[in-house]
Amino acid sequence: MGSGLVIREAHFPGRAPIEAYGNGGFRFADMSHRGSILCLPSGIYGWQPVSAASLTVADFDRLLPEADAVQILLVGMGPSLQPLPAELRAALRAAGIAADPMSTGAAVRTYNVLLAEDRSVAAALIAVD
């Protein structure tokens, strides 16, 4: 019988408000996660991007199958607002998702309000220090 270490992809199965952010990560549902996160109707997932400049359509592959359940996507672009790359904005629009880029702090606050209102919201949050 093997006793190897099993590493699972970070995933919280459900929707939860973000309790805190900063120091390179997030706290939610009495847990903490180092790095960026993607908050979808199916749960909260660890997410690879570390900067807004490097965002690609592929970074949102997990979101697109859930597009029917998402009206607005808040994109926390890090410490300051930056525009979404044109190709990414077009792909999200084609999927019927309105993307709203903002600083990660503003995205967290807006996500929590819309979640409390039971709105069809998702968030892609780049971790900040």
CATH number at residue 76: 3.40.1230.10
Tell me if 75 sits within 8 A of 99, measured CB to CB.
Answer: yes
Over the stretch 3-56, which tens digit does the pLDDT of each residue have?
565 555 678 888 999 999 999 999 999 989 999 999 999 999 999 999 998 899
Of the CA atoms within 13 Å of residue 78, those in its CB half-sphere come to 11
Tell whether the model's pLDDT for residue 92 goes beyond 60.
yes
Instruction: Tell me, yes or no, whether 5 lies in a domain.
Output: no
Q: Summarize the confidence of residues 104-115 as an average pLDDT.
A: 98
Q: What is the pLDDT of residue 40?
A: 97
Q: What is the pLDDT of residue 5?
A: 55
Instruction: Tell me, yes or no, whether 1 lies in a domain.
Output: no
Residue 72 domain boundaries: 11-125
